[in-house]
């Protein structure tokens, strides 16, 4: 084999292999970035013009004055602090609120057609999806009472049908039998959240999925919709890093058909 043949063989061999990173891995990286602070440069990496001694002294003087003002302000506020006990008084406005995704311009809502139809073998629903990033079907029935809560890392996803869309978003859904006699909102709040940005289900926005009234909450990097049909609670989630995530979620929701009669029967009813 001459050099040329070797080069061609090596190139062909290197070309052969996966070319896409899973959405989940990208999302996981972005989650880490979200909690990672940038290391700020201690001094500017470049300076276009030299700074005179006078300017440096002026800046230093301004800084000294600013520090003095802040210190004086703190001293003046001391009497307002609680005099007994160490714990600060909680602010009455310290209620966590969802941070919805920034709305994007309509031009950003360019989605591929959800041309493939997925029929869940266990969860009793169908939806359209994009056959691009991969699809994983649920490996077990969902029981939020006894199973760990799903998170954005993909851990505890066994009861979920999961679509890696290939568009910086993962769509997943599951359903479970609702125990007799429970309040849906209270039950959801107890066993599914506080993932939903801490918003109780009763205070979440309304959504309609396949003609059934449900609730939706938009958090920073995920959207969650819940709906009840045929005695089952359905949960649909979109984990994402898209500015137009709500429109993306709605595109999926528009294709959902709830078929509780087709859901796999649990071996035992979840305890309440």
Partner 1 sequence: MDLALVEAARSGDEEAFASIARGYADRLFVVAHRILRDVGRAEDAVQQTLVTAWRELPALRDTERFEAWIHRILVNACYAEAKRASKWSANVVVLPVDGPASRDTTQDVVIRDALDRGFRRLPTEQRAAFVLHHYLGWSVAEIAENLGVPAQTIKSRIRYATSTLRAGLDADARTTSLTSRERMA
Q: Which residue has the tokens 């290939």?
A: 166
- DSSP readout, 145-164? TTSPPP-TTSTT-TTSEEEE
Q: Is 41 in the site for partner 1 (CB under 8 A)?
A: yes
In the bound state with partner 1, the residue whose beta carbon lies nearer, of 167 and 234, is 167
Tokens of 153: 């890392």
Decide if residue 108 touches partner 1 (CB under 8 A): no
Is 13 a residue that touches partner 1 (CB under 8 A)? yes
Q: Which of residues 220-259 bind partner 1 (CB under 8 A)?
A: 241, 243
**The only residue of 4, 46, 94, 146 in contact with partner 1, by rule CB under 8 A:** 46
Our CA angle for 227, 96, 184, nearest 5°, is 25
Question: Which among 242, 241, 224 is positioned nearest to 233, based on CA atoms?
Answer: 224
Out of 4, 14, 261, 271, point to the residue binding partner 1 (CB under 8 A).
Answer: 14
Least distance (Å) between residue 255 CB and partner 1: 24
By CB under 8 A, is residue 111 in contact with partner 1?
Answer: no
Q: Which residues pair with 128 in a beta bridge?
A: 117
Contact 212, 258 (CB under 8 A): yes
Non-local (6+) Cβ contacts of 102 within 8 A are 243
Stretch that binds partner 1, among 10-18, 125-133, 144-152, 186-194 (CB under 8 A): 10-18
* 7 lies in the binding site for partner 1 (CB under 8 A): yes
Q: Does 20 participate in binding partner 1 (rule CB under 8 A)?
A: yes
Query: For residues 14 and 51, which CB has a smaller minimum distance to partner 1 in the complex?
Result: 14
19 binds partner 1 per the rule CB under 8 A: yes
Q: Which of 98, 168, 185, 230 is close enough to bind partner 1 by CB under 8 A?
A: 168
Nearest distance from C-beta of residue 194 to partner 1, angstroms: 23
Helices and strands counted in the chain (H then E)? 5, 10
State which of residues 16, 80, 180, 206 lies at the interface with partner 1 (CB under 8 A).
16
DSSP string, 179-223: PTT--HHHHHHHHTTT-STT--GGGSEEEEETTEEEEEEE-SSEE
Query: 188: closest CA among 268, 266, 161, 178?
Result: 178
> What minimum distance in Å lies between the beta carbon of 98 and partner 1?
18
134 binds partner 1 (CB under 8 A): no
List contacts with partner 1 (CB under 8 A).
1, 6-7, 9-22, 25-26, 28-30, 32-34, 36-41, 45-46, 168, 241, 243
């Amino acid at each position: 084999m001459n050099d040329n043949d070797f080069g061609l063989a090596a190139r062909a061999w290197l070309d052969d292999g996966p070319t896409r990173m899973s959405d989940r891995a990208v999302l996981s990286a972005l989650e880490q970035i979200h909690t990672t602070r940038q290391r700020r440069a201690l001094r500017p990496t470049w300076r276009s013009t030299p700074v005179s001694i006078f300017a440096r002294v002026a800046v230093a003087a301004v800084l000294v004055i600013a520090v003095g003002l802040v210190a004086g302000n703190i001293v003046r506020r001391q009497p307002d602090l609680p005099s007994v006990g160490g714990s600060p008084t909680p602010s009455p406005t310290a209620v966590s609120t969802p941070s919805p995704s920034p709305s994007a311009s309509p031009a950003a809502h360019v989605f591929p057609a959800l041309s493939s139809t997925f029929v869940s073998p266990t969860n009793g629903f169908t939806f359209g999806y994009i056959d691009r990033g991969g699809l994983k079907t649920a490996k077990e029935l969902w029981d939020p009472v006894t199973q760990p809560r799903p998170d954005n890392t993909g851990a505890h996803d066994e009861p979920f049908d999961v679509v890696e869309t290939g568009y910086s978003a993962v769509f997943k859904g599951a359903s479970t039998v609702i125990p007799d006699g429970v309040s849906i909102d209270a039950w959801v709040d107890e066993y599914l959240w506080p993932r939903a940005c801490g918003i109780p289900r009763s205070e979440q926005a309304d959504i309609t999925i396949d003609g059934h009234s449900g609730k939706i909450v938009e958090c920073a990097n995920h959207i969650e919709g819940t709906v009840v049909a045929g005695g089952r609670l359905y949960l649909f989630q979109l984990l994402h890093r898209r500015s137009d995530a709500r429109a993306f979620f709605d595109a999926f929701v528009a294709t959902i058909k709830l078929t509780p009669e087709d859901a796999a029967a649990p071996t035992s009813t979840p305890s309440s």
